[in-house]
């Protein structure tokens, strides 16, 4: 049973397209996150979401938007893709706000390549 | 604001040797500190964490870390490296937006790649 799953695992697309990455967690957690890992392995928080409260990293372009249809899902939508969006995107979840002291559980990642 | 510095982007040890991965942090509030491991083509997995209490924290796979407030450090160690320890290791500090509150995210260091030679 996968705790945090993401689809697709790989995503190759053209500049200017709009794409989505899905994330689901079956842990019953309250909080979900999206991270971006660049080619140098640097991890940056993009969004965190808990019970309709969304915290946005101010450096994230507004072309990126998370959408949560229910507590178990936090999908990432990206409009007008750019070359610089190429990265690995990780979804994560935790019980309550994970930055406090709770462990975050990570998905396997989605490798996005923009051509 | 909180930040994390990991000294050494790449550490190479021989199998059976001591593993020492360095992490220093900056935090305006008492920190919550974490070590995560990332195996190739996988997500991150928690190794250990420090919140309060005992400053020597034991984690999975024989790893441990010691919180030293005076040195603002949280170095990760393992007495004897195994080939299976080869991975990327990330130190992280919680971004506790409201001290005493519940919100917060993880601020990660840039990672240290551990190689283990036979």
Q: What is the pLDDT of residues B55-77, one digit of tens each?
A: 999 999 999 999 999 999 999 99
Residue B100: pLDDT over 50 = no
Residue B53 confidence (pLDDT): 87
Of residues B1 and B69, more confidently modeled: B69
Interface touch A98/B95, C-beta < 8 Å: no
Q: What is the mean pLDDT of residues B111-115?
A: 96
Q: Please say if the pLDDT value at position B98 is more than 90.
A: no
Distance from C-alpha of B20 to C-alpha of B13, rounded to nearest angstrom? 9
* CA atoms of B71 and B69, how far apart (whole Å): 5
Kindly state the average pLDDT of the residues B19-42. 91
- Contact check, Cβ <8 Å, A55/B105: yes
Mean pLDDT on A95-113: 80
Confidence class for position A100, pLDDT limits 50, 70, 90: low
How confident is the model over A45-87, as pLDDT tens digits?
A: 899 888 778 888 889 999 999 999 999 999 999 999 999 999 9
Q: Which of B5, B2, B1, B16 is nearest to B74 (CA)?
A: B5
Q: How far apart are CA B87 and CA B116, in angstroms?
A: 9
Distance from CA of A98 to the nearest CA of B (A): 6
Mean pLDDT (chain A, rounded): 91
Q: Quote the pLDDT of residue B101.
A: 47
Number of C-alpha atoms within 13 angstroms, CB side, residue B116? 16
Work out the percent of chain A whose per-residue pLDDT is above 70: 94
Of B41, B43, B102, the CB nearest to A90: B43
- Rounded to whole angstroms, the Cα distance separating A114 from B79 reads 43
pLDDT for B99: 45
The DSSP bridge partners found for residue A55 are A48
Does pLDDT of B27 surpass 70? yes
- Residue B102: pLDDT above 60? no
Among the residues of chain B, which ranges form H helices?
none
Chain B interface mutation, best of A56, A97, A98, highest count of B Cβ atoms under 10 Å: A97
Distance from CA of B95 to the nearest CA of A (A): 6
């Amino acid at each position: 049973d996968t705790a945090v799953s993401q689809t697709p695992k790989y995503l190759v697309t053209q500049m200017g397209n709009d794409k989505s990455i899905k994330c689901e967690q079956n842990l019953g957690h309250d909080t979900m996150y999206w991270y971006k890992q660049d080619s140098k392995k640097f991890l940056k928080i993009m969004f965190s979401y808990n019970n309709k409260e969304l915290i946005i990293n101010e450096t994230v372009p507004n072309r990126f938007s998370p959408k949560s249809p229910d507590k178990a899902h936090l999908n990432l939508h990206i409009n007008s893709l750019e070359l610089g969006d190429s990265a690995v995107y990780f979804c994560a979840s935790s019980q309550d706000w994970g930055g406090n002291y709770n462990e975050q559980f990570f998905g396997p990642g989605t490798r996005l390549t923009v051509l | 604001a909180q930040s994390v510095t990991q000294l050494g982007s790449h550490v190479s040890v021989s199998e059976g040797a001591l593993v020492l991965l360095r992490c220093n942090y900056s935090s305006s509030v008492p920190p919550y500190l974490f070590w995560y491991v990332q195996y190739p083509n996988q997500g991150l997995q928690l190794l250990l964490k420090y919140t309060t209490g005992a400053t020597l924290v034991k984690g999975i796979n024989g790893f441990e870390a010691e919180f030293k407030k005076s040195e603002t450090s949280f170095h990760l160690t393992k007495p004897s490296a195994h080939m299976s320890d080869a991975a990327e290791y990330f130190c992280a500090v919680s971004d506790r937006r409201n001290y005493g509150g519940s919100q917060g995210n993880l601020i990660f260091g840039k990672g240290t790649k551990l190689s283990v030679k036979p």
